[in-house]
Amino acid sequence: MSDDIANVVSYEDVIDGIKTMLAGGHINLVETLAEKIAELCLTDERVETTRIRVEKLDVYAEAASVGIEIERSRK
């Protein structure tokens, strides 16, 4: 790899994709959201593996957050 920005995944593209996904309507489960974000990331052929963490903040007084972390790879 070189120090060329064209060789890396654009964070802006990922964020825009997530915003579009969320604009499509309510997603019931954070597990479903994590899977959809992983699928989005893997659409870029340069991405071989992605690790996604989705957290709900301030859900329980006893915990800073609750959530899920998944890792998915290209088949």
The 8 Å CB, 24+ separation contacts for 10-19 are: 13/44, 14/40, 14/41
Q: Is the dihedral of CA 8, 10, 15, 21 positive or negative?
A: negative
Distance CA 58, CA 66 (A): 8
Catalytic residues: 56
Q: Across the strands, what pairs with 54?
A: 68
pLDDT tens, the chain, 75 aa long = 678 888 889 999 999 999 999 999 999 999 999 999 999 999 999 899 999 999 999 899 999 999 999 999 987
For the chain, the domain total comes to: 1
pTM over 0.85: yes
- Cα separation, 40 vs 37, whole angstroms: 5
- Domain housing 62: 5-73
pLDDT at 1: 63
CATH number at residue 37: 3.30.1130.10
